């Protein structure tokens, strides 16, 4: 039997980094996204974020294409949010994103980081978070 573990931590922001995802909206959005993922064979281990961005920890099947999975998740969540009219304006995600592979031994650390987004962003901006990820990438500490 072959066992393959492909874990990816993905971060993307709202278009123009607008701070429109209040906590109640995020709760229903990520609940919907997990349900959608289950229906489509996309395993979302953890999803959370802040007012202007989302974090997802995914476990991919070897046959799944990361770009296609992300396109599906972003498109579905945009359509659902706009259809549900939970926001005062038309919603869209930014085209940009960051995705990092995660080792099985780091899963709990990444899950904890995603769960603490509200606390984390009380002292750090989204921009500084992204700079930290890019700095880790340049140093080879992913």
The number of folded domains in the chain is 1
Domain that holds residue 120: 6-139
- Region for 62 from its dihedrals, namely left if φ exceeds 0, alpha if ψ lies in -120 to 50, beta otherwise: alpha
1 part of a folded domain: no
**Reported pTM:** 0.84
Question: Which CATH number characterizes residue 120's domain?
Answer: 3.30.70.1290
Residues 6+ apart with CB under 8 A from 127: none
122 part of a folded domain: yes
63 part of a folded domain: yes
From first to last of its 142 residues, what are the pLDDT tens digits of the chain? 777 789 999 999 999 999 999 999 999 999 999 999 999 999 999 999 999 999 999 999 999 999 999 999 999 999 999 999 999 999 999 998 999 999 999 999 999 999 988 775 566 655 655 565 555 555 555 4
């Amino acid at each position: 039997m072959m066992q393959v573990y492909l874990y990816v931590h993905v971060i993307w922001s709202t278009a123009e980094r607008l701070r429109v995802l209040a906590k109640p909206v995020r709760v229903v959005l990520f609940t919907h996204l997990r349900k959608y993922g289950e229906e489509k064979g996309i395993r979302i281990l953890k999803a959370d974020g802040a007012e202007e961005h989302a974090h997802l920890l995914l476990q991919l099947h070897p046959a799944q294409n990361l770009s296609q999975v992300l396109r599906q998740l972003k498109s579905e969540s945009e359509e659902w949010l706009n259809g549900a009219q939970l926001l005062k304006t038309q919603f869209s995600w930014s085209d940009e994103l960051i995705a990092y592979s995660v080792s099985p031994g780091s899963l709990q650390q990444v899950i904890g980081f995603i769960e603490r987004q509200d606390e984390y962003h009380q002292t750090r901006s989204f921009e500084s978070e992204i700079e930290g990820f890019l700095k880790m990438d340049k140093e080879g500490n992913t």
